[in-house]
Structure 1
């Protein structure tokens, strides 16, 4: 039997989990990398920014790469090179070399990230289910497992040889999953619906056909072979020519990108500053700070597991709005309360609130009409700006106003998310409820 043209949920889950696993096992050994290089915290922090820089350099081009070569090939190569980059961290001789290695690693990790999100969106739309939160939960679960593996290696006294060994494990899993990706539906040209109507071919979801209808299904209705796409090519022919996406950037992409940026900033600021906030500002023991950060990551994973059913019941916009409000309230509890018990509760709610924002925004980007993979690229690039610039911005503000007050900037972005949340509404029938007025 041929491969299911709707794509494999398991394959996407494995690729997301392997990405989180490889990253988690490497970042857990940052102190060992610092000791190996004899670097101070400032120099190491600058080197670690190379990851975000490399990702931002690569992400704007990933949509084009996937359009040209298909996500199966693109993600397979990115997984192999990304894991090679994480492995190389174990043998870098100096901080400048570490910076260069992390820029190259970040380039491939960025392509890996966008490519797997594109495939995940395709699978989600083809199956007419809210699956993206589950995929991102797999990433969180992989990160927890990877970080735990790194912590165990450190406790056992294993050196940085752990990095290439576990990177190989992640690479094998990631390549296996990517090899089971299927070609995504090509983006629509402006006027394509009219052309299909003139040829007697039914329109797609955005033209009034139910959202679950896929291109192969439409082709089958008109006598095309079961394994063929609407353009008549075999399902495995990822180099088949595809219609170009609409030019420019839509207003919907920019607004969804800002929502995704707010979620990424709230997530990244917790990972970067939550433990330090509790220890330095509230005087908590270091173990309590680590416990609260662990609580944040666990509830974020749980929130993503619950996010799919919640979105299907209440709608994407409502869930994102509720999550943003919960995260903003939790940050205020953590920063303003002197009670460590309330701080722990705030950390739990912080993770639960931000859990669905990023994956829901990626789903919304995948529904922008006529933009296809390019919309996911734009939204991902905007969001990853938070990971690159969020930590240094909060750090600079903390020098002036204190770390607790510096985190108010995250609350401000979450308030902006509440205002913009209507753009996250799902498509319904022939209407695109996300809107797509062109601005470029």
Structure 2
């Protein structure tokens, strides 16, 4: 193993950590943002929608860009731009400028999300063994850190602008420095036409599985607290525990997911993950008390955590260059992240929140069923590490 390859792995993991930290910092301080600008809940929903649509539009356009320039170039530009976008969100003085900053932040993050997964796939293939779950664990570390730092900032009386700007200002130079660690594209990727041609069918199947999984994640993130409080009568402090407990479950699963994949393969893991998601979310819905539901959220996190890393990793092996296929699967997945909470909202209005959340059980079963359509044997993970010229290595 070369020091270059080791640095590329650490650089990819740190990119996931910083991405989770920056996105998590904005979401954790949303209550402070509403106080700063006097926003209503509907306006907050619009802000989050603008951010998500910005990310989704960029992801969908990344196929051609990734095929042309590769993940290293996109990350070198997108990483610092994401930090600048977060700084813009911090200093936005009114709603119109905030919407502009949030759209910019979302679009820059869309670049980073696709490219860091493509870079992770390149590192994984160069290592010749599964690594993607461990990289996505970095996102969980960043998101959990954002929550912890946000709580400390609140306790210290640090306002929204100072907290968010500080994270952005620290992330900006770190993202720039990480640009030196990323792997270049393999020579075969330089002529790949993945940005213009139709993807292999397996990419769309993986995108559908990721769509279902992200619908579950979005449902948990946006609705579990309200369910615990309004349906199970939990105090606000207990209701707030649902999502952090879910994230801890995801972190544990992702830290062990690569070893499990090496033993059981992607199809077996995805099938079990779908069934576990359905089973444990059923436990949440059948729980007689809030604390039982909170405990079950840990196991829902365990179930759903490895689905997106596994699908993105396998998508990265479907074409000569990982970037375009990952961009396609990722865009489909994030559509689910945006659509899931909206569907739950309409269904809960028509029926009840308890009934609407049953869709997560159905999604888990769909994941398990769709996973059986995947091939039984994975492509080889081994790809020769490109050799840099001395001048390029110093760049």
Q: State the TM-score, normalizing by the size of structure 1.
A: 0.82
- Alignment of 1:346 with 2:347, yes or no, is no
Structure 1 contact 336–404 (Cα < 8 Å) conserved: no
Q: Displacement, 1:93?
A: 2.8
Query: Residue 384 of structure 2 corresponds to which residue in structure 1?
Result: none
Alignment match of 2:227 (pick from 270, 274, 277): 277
| Residue 174, structure 1, aligned to residue 209, structure 2 | no
Map 1:227-376 → 2, pairs under 5 A: 241-245=190-194, 247-370=197-320, 372-376=322-326
Q: Partners of 1:398 and 1:11 in 2: how far apart? A: 43
Contact 2:317/2:379 (CA < 8 Å) preserved in 1? no
Kindly indicate whether residue 33 of structure 2 is the aligned counterpart of residue 24 of structure 1. Answer: no
| Cα deviation code 1:382-422 (max 9, x no counterpart) | 00001222212211111111112111222222211111113
Partners of 2:92 and 2:143 in 1: CA distance:
23
- Whether 1:90 and 2:90 are equivalent positions in the alignment is yes
- Which residue matches 1:119? 119
* Separation in 2, partners of 1:119, 1:371: 10
Structure with more of its chain in helix, by fraction: 2
> What is the CA-CA distance between 1:370 and the residue it aligns to?
4.3
State the Cα distance separating 1:30 from its structure 2 match. 0.3
1:69 alignment partner, SS class: helix
Q: Distance in 1 between matches of 2:19 and 2:347?
A: 32
Which runs of 5 or more residues in structure 1 are unaligned? Answer: 189-240, 431-440
C-alpha contact 1:187 1:373 (8 A) present in aligned 2: no
CA contact 2:76–2:179 (8 Å) conserved in 1: yes
In 1: Cα distance, 2:36 partner to 2:82 partner: 22
Q: What per-residue deviation string (whole Å, max 9, x for no partner) do you get for residues 154-181 of structure 1?
A: 1111112111111122223322223210
**Alpha-carbon offset, residue 7 of structure 1:** 6.7
Deviation at 1:35, TM superposition (A): 0.8
Q: Distance in 1 between matches of 2:228 and 2:120?
A: 36
Are the aligned partners of 1:27 and 1:147 in contact in 2 as well (CA < 8 Å)?
no
Structure 2 matches for 1:194-233, cutoff 5 A? none
Q: Note closer, same or farther for the CA distance 1:173–1:270 as it changes in structure 2 (3 Å cut).
A: same
Other-structure match for 2:392: none
Closer/same/farther in 2, CA of residues 44 and 429 from structure 1, 3 Å limit: closer
Q: Equivalent residue for 1:222? A: none
1:96-147 Cα offsets, whole Å, 9 max, x none, are 3322221111111011000010010011011111100000000110111112
Alignment partner, residue 141 of structure 1: 141
CA deviation after TM superposition for structure 1 residue 36, in Å: 0.9
1:150 to 2:99 alignment: no
Moved more, 336-345 or 128-137: 336-345
Report the CA distance between 1:63 and its aligned residue. Answer: 3.2
Judged with a 3 Å threshold, the aligned counterparts in structure 2 of structure 1 residues 428 and 252 are, in CA distance, closer, same or farther, namely closer
Q: Is the 8 A contact 1:256 1:424 kept in 2?
A: no
Q: In the alignment, which residue of structure 2 is the partner of 1:411?
A: 361
Counterparts of 2:122 and 2:25 in 1: how far apart (Å)? 29
Unaligned runs of at least 5 residues, structure 2: 382-395
Work out whether residues 364 and 426 of structure 1, in 8 Å CA contact, stay in contact via their aligned partners in 2: no
C-alpha displacement at 1:69, in angstroms? 2.5
Change (3 A) 1:177 1:165: same
**CA distance change for structure 1 residues 426 and 13 in 2, over 3 Å: closer, same or farther?**
farther
**Bigger Rg, structure 1 or 2:** 1
What residue in structure 2 maps to residue 70 of structure 1?
70
Question: Would you say the 8 A contact 1:256–1:361 is kept in 2?
Answer: yes
Q: Is this contact kept in 2: 1:64–1:374, CA < 8 A?
A: yes
- Counterpart CA distance in 2 for 1:396 and 1:186 is 49
Paired with 2:143 and 2:235, the residues of 1 have a C-alpha distance of 24
SS across alignment from 2:192: coil
